[in-house]
Amino acid sequence: MKWLATITCLLALAAPLQAQESRVFVTEQICLPVQQMTFKVMNDYGETPLFSANGIQFSATDGNTYKSNMMYFVNQDTGTWTLISLYGDNIGCMVATGTNFKPYSK
């Protein structure tokens, strides 16, 4: 019986944590033709491409998915970084940007 009570308490405590894991953001992204977007990031912030990948973004307003190529730019001297979605219609949108970039180490 103690075992069942312990499990019940743990589940009750975990429920609020699960609810906090999901976030829905409604944002506006800065979008420009790809050449302008990448030039701005590289010229204004001295960031260079670190890696690229295929990505999917989920619309918070209608749930649709949008596929794009993603490029992650960094300036290893200043620590700034930018993540850009590159769409097939030659438009690039800034997904996120920040500071304090550093290589991951365990």
Q: What percent of the chain has pLDDT over 70?
A: 80
- What is residue 10's predicted lDDT score, i.e. its pLDDT? 45
Helix (DSSP H) and strand (DSSP E) numbers for the chain: 2, 5
For 30, residues 6+ apart whose C-beta sits below 8 A from its C-beta are 37, 93, 94
Mean of pLDDT over the chain: 82
Q: Report the range of poorest mean pLDDT among 15-19, 25-29, 86-90.
A: 15-19
